[in-house]
């Protein structure tokens, strides 16, 4: 037995052994993500807008202007094209297939990106951490763009490290089509190249511009204005909602919510090591964190997923910080110090993960009534049929158009608004009425109040033991 142990030790200490371990971690990451994706059958509200773009691209060969950029829908269009367009699950499964691949690739790219700077073993630890981290793995069950965006950033960084400037620029340029904030990293690294080599990095700049310029022209043609991104409307709305000195208050509030999410996800020791590494070992890798800067400036619920694409570089900072501390120790105590730092970091990570393991099974935004309503309507509507609702879940399952309820005070006003905007159906959900649109309350009275009977007809009611999911469908009368 000791001899076998010695042979295994020598094997895994060799380059071949390291790649065997990388393969095992990658296989585990892939298996976990496949299992999590298969266990979820509900889209997210933002994901619905992305998926609708994919459906339009595949089935109508058209890309409409949206505040949700087209890079992610373009990537999910390929798996969607291979599926049955009559299957309401097809769009969600296409996004999940892509996220399973990108989520696993994210782990591998992390290892490749960190290995030159931290060495094989720390890079492998970072890869393993991201493979099992609930905040990272949970993104594979959904339909959002974080994993493709993260892979774009990492792939661009890797190509730049190999001095493949044109390809690096091309990758950063396309990543901008997924999330426009990627342009901050691309621009910062371009400035670094200009400063370092004292000449314009024109091949890098050309690579960035190839995807960017056509999209800027698309925005110009569809909106009549020049803009860097369709998402800039979020900044405008934030400024309008928080005018003057209220806007810094929004930024501060977002920061106080966003920053603690990081140590709740990876543990306080790693965060502190990362801060130390940022101070002691700064480098051009810091530009990869620049896209985080706009997050607090926009009205948006702060969430762990905002941190996930940047975790490889936060872990890089932690590794550099740990190495800087290790170098401060005497030669005789460095091994003990390294073991101590590793144990403290892993303990902090373990404590952080303990609170998040439920994410492996938890389903986000699982609105059963809205899904059943959409599936029921699917056989009764056309693609141009308009459904009035608070969120686009029902229209997603029905395969038709959606308009969002405004914040009006009473049911009659909302019915009149729906009629004036061409809606054929109104979807009324108990959760929405109780928490979001109180004016719909009279549409949850059965039979329908007399004063509304000339305006609407109840055509279907889905009841649940958990009454929050109870959902009514009304057909609007002409």
Spell out the long-range contacts of 188-195 with Cβ–Cβ below 8 A and sequence spacing 24 or more. Answer: 188/287, 188/290, 189/160, 189/284, 189/287, 192/284, 192/287, 193/165
Would you state the pLDDT for residue 174? 97
Query: Cα dist. 429→363, 433, 437, 452 in Å?
Result: 19, 6, 10, 17
| Angstrom distance (rounded) from CA 388 to CA 457 | 14
Would you state the pLDDT for residue 2? 57
Query: Cα dist. 129→26, 108, 309 in Å?
Result: 11, 12, 14
pTM of the entire predicted model:
0.91
pLDDT < 70 regions, the chain: 1-14, 329-330, 332, 363-364
Would you state the pLDDT for residue 131? 95
| Angstrom distance (rounded) from CA 184 to CA 172 | 10
Would you state the pLDDT for residue 206? 96
Q: State in Å, rounded, how far the first CA of the chain is from the last one.
A: 83
Would you state the pLDDT for residue 8? 45
């Amino acid at each position: 037995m000791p001899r076998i142990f010695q042979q295994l030790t020598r094997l895994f200490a060799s380059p071949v052994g390291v790649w065997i371990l990388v393969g095992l971690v990658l296989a585990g990451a892939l298996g976990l993500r496949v299992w999590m994706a298969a266990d979820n059958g509900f889209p997210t509200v933002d994901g619905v807008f992305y998926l609708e773009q994919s459906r339009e691209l595949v089935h109508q060969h058209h890309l409409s202007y949206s505040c949700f950029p087209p890079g992610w829908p373009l990537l999910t269009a390929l798996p969607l094209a291979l599926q049955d367009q009559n299957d309401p699950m097809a769009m969600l499964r296409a996004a999940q297939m892509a996220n399973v691949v990108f989520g696993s690739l994210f782990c591998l790219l992390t290892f490749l990106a960190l290995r030159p700077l931290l060495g094989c073993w720390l890079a492998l630890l970072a890869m393993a951490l991201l493979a099992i981290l609930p905040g990272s793995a949970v993104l594979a069950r959904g339909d959002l763009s974080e994993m493709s965006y993260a892979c774009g950033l990492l792939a661009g960084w890797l190509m730049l490290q190999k001095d493949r400037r044109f390809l690096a620029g091309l990758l950063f340029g396309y990543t901008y089509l997924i999330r426009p904030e990627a342009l901050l990293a691309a621009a910062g690294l371009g400035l670094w190249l200009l400063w370092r080599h004292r000449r314009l990095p024109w091949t890098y700049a050309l690579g960035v511009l190839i995807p960017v310029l056509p999209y800027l022209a698309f925005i110009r043609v569809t909106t009549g204005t020049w803009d860097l991104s369709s998402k800039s409307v979020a900044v405008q709305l934030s400024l309008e909602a928080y005018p003057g000195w209220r806007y810094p208050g929004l930024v501060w509030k977002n920061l106080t919510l966003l920053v603690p999410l990081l140590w709740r996800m990876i543990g306080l020791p790693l965060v502190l090591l990362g801060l130390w590494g940022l101070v002691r070992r700064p480098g051009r890798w810091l530009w990869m964190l620049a896209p985080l800067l706009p997050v607090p400036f926009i009205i948006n619920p702060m969430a762990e997923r905002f941190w996930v694409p940047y975790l490889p570089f936060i872990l890089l900072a932690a590794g550099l910080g740990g190495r800087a501390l290790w170098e401060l120790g005497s030669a005789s105590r460095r091994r003990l110090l390294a073991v101590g730092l590793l144990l403290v970091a892993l303990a902090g990570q373990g404590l952080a993960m303990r609170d998040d393991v439920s994410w492996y099974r938890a389903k986000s935004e699982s609105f059963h009534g809205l899904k059943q309503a959409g599936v029921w309507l699917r056989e009764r509507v056309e693609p141009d049929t308009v459904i009035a609702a608070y969120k686009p879940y029902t229209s997603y399952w029905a395969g038709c158009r959606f308009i969002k309820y405004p914040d009006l005070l009473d049911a009659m006003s909302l019915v009149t608004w729906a009629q004036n905007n061409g809606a054929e159906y109104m979807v009324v959900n108990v959760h929405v009425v109780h928490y979001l649109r109180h004016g719909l309350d009279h549409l949850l009275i059965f039979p329908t109040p007399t004063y509304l009977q000339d305006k609407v007809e109840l055509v279907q009611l889905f009841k649940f033991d958990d009454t929050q999911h109870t959902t009514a469908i009304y057909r609007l009368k002409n």
